[in-house]
A and B are shown apart, each in its own frame.
Chain A
Amino acid sequence: MKQTQTIKKILSYIKQYRIYLVFSIVLALVTVAFTLYIPILIGKAIDCIVGVGNVNFEKIFAVFSQIAILSLLTAFFQWIMNLINNKMTYHVARDIRNQAMTKIETLPLNYLDTHSNGDTLSRIITDVDQFSDGLLMGFTQLFTGIITIIGTLAFMLSVNPIITAVVVVITPLSLFVAKFVSSKTYHLFKLQSEIRGEQTAFIEEMIENQKVVQAYNHQKENQQNFEEINQRLAKSSLKALFFSSLTNPSTRFVNNIVYGGVALSGGLMAITGTLSVGSLTCFLSYANQYTKPFNEISGVITELQNALACADRVFELIETPSEISDTHNQHLPENVSGNITLNKVYFSYTPDKKLIENFNLNVISGQRVAIVGPTGCGKTTLINLLMRFYDTVSGEITVDGYEIKSVTRNSLRRNYGMILQETWLKSGTIKENITIGKPDATDEEIIEACKKAHSHNFIKRLPDGYDTVIGEDGGDLSQGQKQLLCISRIMLSLPPMLILDEATSSIDTRTEMRIQNAFQQMMKGRTSFIVAHRLSTVKNADILLVMKDGHIIEQGTHEQLLEQDGFYANLYNSQFAV
């Protein structure tokens, strides 16, 4: 059931290459016909060699030229067919990967936050790879196999229908065996795929964080855990590999029985004189030709089982529902003034654990809102909601009077500039990383922004300045340098609303002080949300929200809160009391 569904999905990907598919089948037909015909020509040539002084050289050369032309044509068509099959397979794999990637960009964050990256990665890379290997084998061997069977069947029928009937009757046995083995192996392959995914996730986690592993001398334990998964994988792989490789011998066994059957029935018929010895010999050789493709096909089928199991995992990813798409095509105007209200907002990541309850807030354009509170109080969650990384469970959030669920996510996010504690840089040049929010910026603008963010100096010292290529996740740059680059991005794009979530936590305070001036400048006239542990960073805010367990427990300016002598005052004073 599930398999047929998966096949249907694969076919829908192949559909747009159907012209190639038709070509491939036509070429397979032609090449098979030629390859079946060439032996007949050779037979003709041999017939010309009767005995001493009785060789018809003239006719032999005529046949030779036919053989030469046909085999050249066959070779050429075969090559073209291979190219077409390659093209189809690789294009389908490419299309599936593109689709998967597009899906990743639209998946709800909840999915990505709860699934390991390694597993998702293995679906897009390894599974698609295995799938395309199987598909290629299917294309190259399935058609030629089937056509060869039909072709030989036709030749056999023309020789003797009765023995042909014997062959045809025994054939389904071979198919039955193949099907039995493959249905068994499907589950084994699926299990193998699952364990592989688990192992990939483990490998990714441990290799990515190898430095911590070594700092804690944890290599031995790791190796042990790895061995455990590895052994499990070995066990399931052995089963899958062995059982799948049974198809070939068992169908060959059936074939040999067919061969024996032909020999028996043909021999008995020959005694009664209804069949000539020559015909029987011819028949046996055709019976061999006829059954050989069955082996190939059954081999292909097991390979396809594996491909199906892999395809299944990719499709599972592709079919995960995307975030609810923007129901309204309304756009938030490009430069909002930044009046934000939160009205009776409720939110939790899991229904059984309440987080934000009845949250109300009114921010006027240009205000600086600082959010402080112990870790886990909901600061980051609030940002998730403002940016619509997650949607509220109930209640509404408006920007300039627009309910944010009624406008497109992109138009909302374009109005925000966000700097997170966890920096993210893509591999590419420094310039590409900085202009991410404003791709058309001029070099002057970029340098200007970087000077403000105090990143210009260190960028200048890099080997190729702004054109220096940085590797995966920022490569050799220090955490602080990465953060400065992230700040430069925002300094360049200057969106009307800002979110700074621990934006300067990895930057030393001397540099931070200087950046703060630039921040102050930038925040003028812009609504901004600031999360920071360094209270010196937030004390100039217009409103300080003190949060605890998803609620606002204190609210006011720095001075007001100090006067209240509550939670905030306590926190603030503690930093000086050592």
Chain B
Amino acid sequence: MKSIIKILGKYKKETVLAPLFKLLEASFELLVPLVVASLIDYGILQSDKGHIIKSFLLLILLAVVGLISSVTAQYFSAKAAIGVSTQLRSDMFARIQSFSFSELDKLGTSTMITRMTSDINQVQNGVNMFLRLFLRSPFIVFGAMIMAFTVDVKGALVFAGTIPVLSIVVFAIILVSIPLYKKSQQNLDNLTAKTRENLSGVRVIRAFCQEEKEIKEFRTLNEILNKSQKYVGKISALMNPVTYVIINVAIIILIYVGALRVDSGLITQGAVVALYNYMSQILVELIKLANLIITLTKSVACANRVESILAIHSTLETMAENDINATINTTDYIVFDNVGLTYQNAGEESLSNINFTVKKGETIGIIGGTGSGKSSLVNLIPHLYDCTRGNVYIDGINVKAYSPEKLREKIGIVLQKAVLFKGSIRENILWGNPDATKEDIGKAIEISQSKDVISAKKNGLDEMIEHGGRNLSGGQKQRLTIARAIVKNPDILILDDSSSALDYATDAKLRQAIHSLDKNMTVFIVSQRTSSIMSADKILVLDDGKIVGMGTHDELLSNCNIYQEIHLSQTR
């Protein structure tokens, strides 16, 4: 709720004016009975046609003024509600973009998406209703009570007893249903995840003829959602009937008290009628209020889910410049000093005791089995994850002491999974460097061996990439992601097994082209193939998160068993 209130602070004018105009409208409504009373007392009883017409015109005037103030109220409340939802979405998107990889791994995509979409919509709805009605209803409820006191204090005591009982019932129902709404929203999340899974895995599902089974599983989840919705519905549906009974009981008591007092001559029959009228007015408003509260309950549950995302902060560590580990004295460009990495919720270290140094301009090959920690190692260079032990230095400065933007500006990393975004090929390449000139792009395309990718497309660079890059093959995507990294002209280039879908010839040409760059680029090549890294200045052989061999191709061939095995498995 905190963020919502904060955002509403920016819409002070709207937040204040919307309920105010609503109150104005309510007040005009309250004037109507007075006009009618005067119509009866002076118009009809004194047979004054002119007064009747005057009263009629006054009623019309009140209607017009009421219309204007309520339209104004609707406008301001809509504006504030939209303002809140727009700002929340924007804040949440920004927050998610600030998360480190650990948070992203932990949260999962589906839940972030539902919270950004349907939850925020629900919040918008809640704010809108709140501004329109929340002041009006209590105004009338308490107004009616105060009026009752002016009529007869003893009779009005019934009001004073009824309102707390009503409040307790209403709040009890709300308190019970909030966690239930949360649960039901959770079930919706699960259903969303299932749907996503089915959309992304359609080929495999069909290949294994799993359609029926998937539909069945979807139905089970859907059923669970349905049950939880019905359950919470059962509870919140109690609100109206229970308040109705309480009010009627109160009316019975009221009339009984009134009867006693009339019997002993303390008040008149008219006063009883007036008290009763106020009580029914309360009933009408309470029904509105109860409906509003149900909507609000839902919105609050959603708001809390939104809030919980906004409460998460990136856990990426930052280091002050004067920290003892912030800098070291070294002539080496990159230093891994006794580095270890344990992922959140993982028991064992995925990397341990990693020690090596790299000189500027060197090419480093990293090789090792599946799950040996190759990707984890290179992910530490741009500080995508925090190393949990030891330190990583670039240019003598700890990566944790750089601002992530500054650091990542220096580094071009091509991740294992080739991802391109909706937009033209050119736009995708410009991700690397928005200021790249035509020549820069041309060069990047040439180096990444993507020339034939571009020429195969009807619109060349302006060819639109479909969602998820579906109109490109795996190899084409990989080359374009490499082009995107190269156009950045980075100091450090990291290729994380990013040529796996390329044939050997293209892969070889790619490496040669990178090598021939005039820039003194430091290059990391993660690969499964010895041919891709054999010409590297230094090769790290990883096994089970540890470095088991380090040196040039020839050195490793003579002293590293695992490297020999890998190499042998790949030669004719």
Instruction: Verify if B265 is at the interface (C-beta below 8 Å from A).
Output: yes
Instruction: Verify if B219 is at the interface (C-beta below 8 Å from A).
Output: yes
- 10 pairs from A and B in contact (CB 8 Å cutoff): A67-B251, A117-B199, A203-B117, A206-B421, A207-B113, A231-B86, A253-B66, A257-B63, A271-B52, A424-B201
* 7 new A-B contacts at CB < 8 Å, known A94-B222, A125-B191, A414-B209: A49-B272, A64-B252, A64-B255, A64-B256, A90-B230, A267-B44, A376-B475
Q: For the complex, count residues of B whose C-beta is within 8 A of A.
A: 177
Nearest 4 interchain pairs by C-beta: A480-B370, A575-B504, A375-B475, A75-B241
Residues of B within 8 A of A267 (CB): 39-40, 43-44, 52, 55-56
Partner pick for B505 among A52, A409, A534, A575, CB 8 A cutoff: A575
Instruction: Verify if A60 is at the interface (C-beta below 8 Å from B).
Output: yes
The CA of A251 and the CA of B382, in the complex, are separated in Å by 62
Residues of B within 8 A of A421 (CB): 474, 501
Instruction: Verify if B409 is at the interface (C-beta below 8 Å from A).
Output: yes
A216-B432, A268-B49 known; A506 vs B370 contact (CB < 8 Å): yes
Instruction: Verify if A577 is at the interface (C-beta below 8 Å from B).
Output: yes
A86-B230, A263-B39 known; A437 vs B63 contact (CB < 8 Å): no
A82 touches B237 (CB 8 A): yes
The CA of A416 and the CA of B78, in the complex, are separated in Å by 57
A252-B66, A427-B197 known; A263 vs B503 contact (CB < 8 Å): no
For chain B, residues 339 to 371, give those with C-beta under 8 angstroms from any C-beta of chain A.
343, 346-347, 367-371
For chain B, residues 24 to 39, give those with C-beta under 8 angstroms from any C-beta of chain A.
32, 36, 39
A55 touches B263 (CB 8 A): yes
CB distance from B370 to the nearest CB of A (A): 3
Residues of B within 8 A of A512 (CB): 569
Which of B157-165, B390-398, B464-472 is found at the contact surface with chain A?
B464-472
Residues of B within 8 A of A231 (CB): 86
B531 touches A418 (CB 8 A): no
The CA of A358 and the CA of B82, in the complex, are separated in Å by 58
Which of A166-174, A219-227, A391-399 is found at the contact surface with chain B?
A219-227
The CA of A482 and the CA of B105, in the complex, are separated in Å by 16
For chain A, residues 470 to 514, give those with C-beta under 8 angstroms from any C-beta of chain B.
471-473, 476, 478-481, 484, 489, 502, 505-513
A576 touches B572 (CB 8 A): yes
For chain B, residues 135 to 165, give those with C-beta under 8 angstroms from any C-beta of chain A.
none
For chain B, residues 209 to 253, give those with C-beta under 8 angstroms from any C-beta of chain A.
209-211, 214-215, 218-219, 222-223, 225-226, 229-230, 233-234, 237-238, 240-242, 244-245, 248-249, 251-252
Instruction: Verify if A12 is at the interface (C-beta below 8 Å from B).
Output: no
A479 touches B198 (CB 8 A): no
CB distance from A567 to the nearest CB of B (A): 10
Instruction: Verify if A209 is at the interface (C-beta below 8 Å from B).
Output: yes
Residues of B within 8 A of A79 (CB): 237-238, 240-241
The CA of A82 and the CA of B240, in the complex, are separated in Å by 10
Instruction: Verify if B329 is at the interface (C-beta below 8 Å from A).
Output: no
A216 touches B468 (CB 8 A): no
Which of A16-24, A100-108, A146-154 is found at the contact surface with chain B?
A100-108
Partner pick for B570 among A98, A478, A536, A574, CB 8 A cutoff: A536
Partner pick for A211 among B104, B211, B508, CB 8 A cutoff: B104
B431 touches A216 (CB 8 A): yes
Residues of A within 8 A of B245 (CB): 71-72, 75
Interface of A is mostly: helix
For chain A, residues 71 to 122, give those with C-beta under 8 angstroms from any C-beta of chain B.
71-72, 74-76, 78-79, 82-83, 86-87, 90-91, 93-94, 97-98, 101-102, 104-106, 109, 112-118, 120-122
A117 touches B508 (CB 8 A): no
A476-B105, A508-B370 known; A126 vs B118 contact (CB < 8 Å): yes
B272 touches A205 (CB 8 A): no
Which of A50, A71, A535 gathers most chain B CB within 10 Å?
A: A71
The CA of A54 and the CA of B346, in the complex, are separated in Å by 84
Instruction: Verify if A51 is at the interface (C-beta below 8 Å from B).
Output: yes
The CA of A372 and the CA of B372, in the complex, are separated in Å by 29
B52 touches A510 (CB 8 A): no
Which of B67-75, B317-325, B440-448, B517-525 is found at the contact surface with chain A?
B67-75
A280 touches B40 (CB 8 A): yes
CB distance from B121 to the nearest CB of A (A): 7
CB distance from A453 to the nearest CB of B (A): 12
Instruction: Verify if B548 is at the interface (C-beta below 8 Å from A).
Output: no
The CA of A271 and the CA of B529, in the complex, are separated in Å by 105
Residues of A within 8 A of B248 (CB): 38, 67-68, 71
A215-B384, A267-B39, A427-B197 known; A49 vs B262 contact (CB < 8 Å): yes
Instruction: Verify if A281 is at the interface (C-beta below 8 Å from B).
Output: yes
Instruction: Verify if B3 is at the interface (C-beta below 8 Å from A).
Output: no
A200-B117, A245-B74, A375-B474 known; A571 vs B503 contact (CB < 8 Å): yes
The CA of A526 and the CA of B269, in the complex, are separated in Å by 98
A215 touches B413 (CB 8 A): yes
The CA of A508 and the CA of B566, in the complex, are separated in Å by 8
Residues of A within 8 A of B571 (CB): 576
A82-B240, A263-B36, A570-B505 known; A436 vs B208 contact (CB < 8 Å): yes
Residues of B within 8 A of A207 (CB): 96, 109, 112-113, 116
A46 touches B280 (CB 8 A): no
Instruction: Verify if B473 is at the interface (C-beta below 8 Å from A).
Output: yes
For chain A, residues 209 to 255, give those with C-beta under 8 angstroms from any C-beta of chain B.
209-219, 221-223, 226-227, 230-231, 233-234, 237-238, 241-242, 245-246, 248-250, 252-253
Which of B5-13, B87-95, B166-174, B330-338 is found at the contact surface with chain A?
B87-95
Residues of A within 8 A of B206 (CB): 105, 109, 387, 389, 409, 413
The CA of A118 and the CA of B200, in the complex, are separated in Å by 10
A219 touches B371 (CB 8 A): no
A260 touches B63 (CB 8 A): yes
Instruction: Verify if B276 is at the interface (C-beta below 8 Å from A).
Output: yes
Contact with A along B400-435 (1 / 0, CB 8 A): 000011001100010111010110000000011010
